[in-house]
A and B are shown apart, each in its own frame.
Chain A
Amino acid sequence: MISRASLLLLLAVTLSALPAAAQQGVSDTEIVIGGSNSFSGPLAFTGDQITKFGVDLYVRVINDAGGIHGRKIRTVYYDDGYRPQDAVANTKKLVEQDKVFAIIIPQGSPPVVATLDYLEENKVPLLFPYQSSPVTRGKRYVLQGMTLSDRSSKMMIDYLAGQRKIKKFAALYQDDEYGKSFLTAFEKDLARFGLKLVGAESVKRGVMDVSAQVAKLQAAKPEVTFLVLVPGPGAQALKERQKIGWTDTLMVSTGPLTDERYLALAGDAAEGVEGLSLWPDPVTSDLPGVKLYREHMQRYFPKNEPNRYSIAGYFAGMLFAEGAKRAGRALTRESLLAALESFKGFESGILPPITIGPDHETQKQGFWVRVEKGRFKQLTDWLKSE
């Protein structure tokens, strides 16, 4: 039998489900943002750094300085372990249960793509996804974070084939969306110079042994071999190359691979290797924003080493905070988007001035580095992909 109490409860639940007048996720004292990310699985380290030591680092700085228009930022994260269906569940939970205002820096193409339609339909801003496939392009509510693969490819080929007049290229790529989106872009950009890849070998995700592929690529005699991999197999390719004494090729890493972890794993096999770097060196750069980032890290998380994942998250936190600040006290999702679209030459002190156009891409640049004595040494100024 249904009691009166349970009817009342039902009524209460129904009423509480009605939309509130104010913007979801924004109260008088608080703005709630969150994201599904990898805290377990293959990209757990990156997920941990971009969120808890990245976004949250900047959030603590902002909150300790009084918040944004009197509101503190609160973050909620859920683990998806790189599984798309868990990312969908987590994102629904964030939007429908935690009532977040926006999704910030979710990681990896498959989990991000799985949530794209849902977020567009529900008009929830998807801020700065940490993945490089162009699938996020042309969406009303998405602001892309990481430099997209076709832009990276353009910078790499323009620099190597255009400025340094290199003719023979090959690629060792991961057999997934990340690797293939780069491969397609390389082929397109090389065609502009009338060139073709002389060799391309794929590596399954999660596989560490790349000796067969390296041997095949050596036979193709490329002047430059692109590494479109993740740190583990990327470092393995460098070691394998050293082991078989293949010296007449220049190995070049893509933006997502050019990081400290890859460098540390490869050890002395990394010496002389070049690559496109999407971020200034988080440990040694003298840029004012990077110095400030290190100071903040030292103040809030003294045990955590600075690295380019946490700086990417920190930067995402900064862009969001600046957007929310510009949107004013009457913050809504639409006003946040309008504010972010108004960025013209925004100085972060970390990347060159940020202008966000109708393409919604926040990062479009990188610079060339060479590994010297175990660190990335900057060889060029910021390269352009426009």
Chain B
Amino acid sequence: MRHAALATVAAVVVGWPWAAPRYFVFLASLIAINAIVAIGLNLLSGYTNQLSFGHAGFLAIGAYAAAILTIRAPALPVPATLLLAGLVTAAVGLALGVPCLRLEGLYLAMATLAFGFVVVEAILNLEWLTRGNDGLRVPAARIGPWILATDTARYYLVVAVAALLIVAAVNLSRTKTGRALLAVRESEIAAQASGVNLAAYKTLAFVVSAFYTGVAGGLFALVVGFLSPDSFDVFLSVDFVAMIIVGGLGSILGSVVGAAVITALNDSLAGFQNYRPLIFGAILVTSMLFMPGGIASALRKIPGAGARPPR
């Protein structure tokens, strides 16, 4: 049953560019990128209860790191570029995570919110590197002789990376580390009493979350092809939080579903022009009222839906 479902999903994902119109291949790439961010954010917020409103900042760091690497070191294969983008972002995550250990709840949300603004200001002021407000055009990346010039090529790169990171996240959530993170969410005091090193695990959550978002940022740069500080505003961070709330806090599947729902929603509402923010807000409020645990927990209530109970 589980294997059949997984095989179907895999077949659809692999066959997608051959069945769907070109635009939907691009859209699916965006969904996969956002899914990676949502998983990263969920590891921090859903699993460890550290709310972040600054993930657009991490995305920006990963995106600019990958873009600058692609421009300055065109011979570097894409996987190395993405890995480096993730590591740079993880380093920044570490630098942010340590001081944030002292903050909780609202104060942490404010600190991460400020972080998002600081990143945008930094991009604006590091003009020699980022071209500031003029924006940065990202050339097509390559793996050896293979140039990722089409939407389909980029799509396969994105879904391959996303699949890898999803498997890694699922595995992580089942290890001692995953259980420790969940314990921190349930009660910090109880977790500490059971021997969980609070500081170490909270910092780890920040670093892993930043790494995921940084890799997603690198993919974002390649897929969108143009970066500007305007891309990474606070509303993008809010979109990411909306993804994990709508999808389900503390659920990998929920992160993916939430990313798909919010991305597709944003896209389809663009045609409503002035009413877009209004309709988007109304849908968010409704889904929170009627599905407080997100889509993932609503799915669990349906018998045979295949989703596993949380613990």
Contacts and interface: CB of A to CB of B under 8 A. Distances in A.
A83 interface: yes
B22 to A, nearest CB: 5
A40 B135 contact: no
A52 B235 CA distance: 25
Interface stretch (A73-81, A301-309, A322-330, A333-341): A73-81
Contacts of B19: 10, 13-14
A179 to B, nearest CB: 9
B126 to A, nearest CB: 14
A321 interface: no
A204 to B, nearest CB: 8
A52 to B, nearest CB: 8
Nearest to B134: A177
Interface stretch (A87-95, A224-232, A288-296, A372-380): A87-95
Interface string A117-145: 11000000000000000010000000000
Nearest to A17: B21
A63 interface: no
B197 interface: no
Interface stretch (B166-174, B222-230, B288-296): B222-230
B230 A110 contact: yes
B146 interface: no
Q: Which of A10, A39, A77 has its CB near the most chain B CB atoms (within 10 A)? A: A39
Contacts of B21: 13, 17, 96-97
B30 interface: yes
Contact of B228 (A79, A84, A90): A84
A81 B269 CA distance: 12
Nearest to B235: A81
Contacts of A30: none
B215 to A, nearest CB: 17
Given A79-B270, A114-B224, A180-B133, A89 B276 contact: no
Interface in A63-119: 76-86, 88-90, 92-93, 96-97, 110-111, 113-114, 117-118
Interface string B203-246: 00000000000000000100011111011010110000000000
B20 to A, nearest CB: 8
Interface in B8-48: 18-23, 26-27, 30
Interface bracket on A: 35 or more
A175 interface: yes
A93 B228 contact: no
A113 B229 CA distance: 13
Q: Which of B19, B21, B227, B274 has its CB near the most chain A CB atoms (within 10 A)? A: B274
A39 B226 contact: no
Contacts of B124: 175
A88 B270 contact: no
A17 to B, nearest CB: 6
A77 B273 contact: yes
Contacts of A86: 266, 270
Interface string B268-310: 0111111011000000000000000000000000000000000
Interface residues of B, number: 35
Given A39-B273, A79-B273, A110-B135, A84 B233 contact: no
B26 A78 contact: no
B270 A90 contact: yes
Contacts, number: 102
Contacts of B23: 92-93, 96-97
B137 interface: yes
Q: Which of B227, B266, B271 has its CB near the most chain A CB atoms (within 10 A)? A: B271
A84 B274 contact: no
B267 interface: yes
A93 B24 CA distance: 9
Nearest to B269: A79
A118 B134 CA distance: 17
A117 B137 contact: yes
Contacts of B27: 89
A82 B228 CA distance: 11
Nearest to B277: A40
Given A78-B271, A110-B228, A84 B235 contact: no
B63 to A, nearest CB: 10
B30 A113 contact: no
A48 interface: yes
A176 B228 CA distance: 11
A78 B30 CA distance: 17
Nearest to A78: B270
Given A83-B231, A93-B23, A177 B270 contact: no
Q: Give me the 7 closest cross-chain CB pairs, A-B, nearest first.
A: A39-B273, A114-B226, A78-B270, A96-B23, A176-B133, A110-B228, A110-B230
7 contacts: A52-B273, A79-B269, A79-B270, A79-B274, A84-B135, A85-B220, A135-B134
Given A39-B276, A89-B27, 8 more contacts: A78-B273, A79-B269, A79-B272, A81-B276, A83-B233, A84-B135, A96-B22, A177-B133
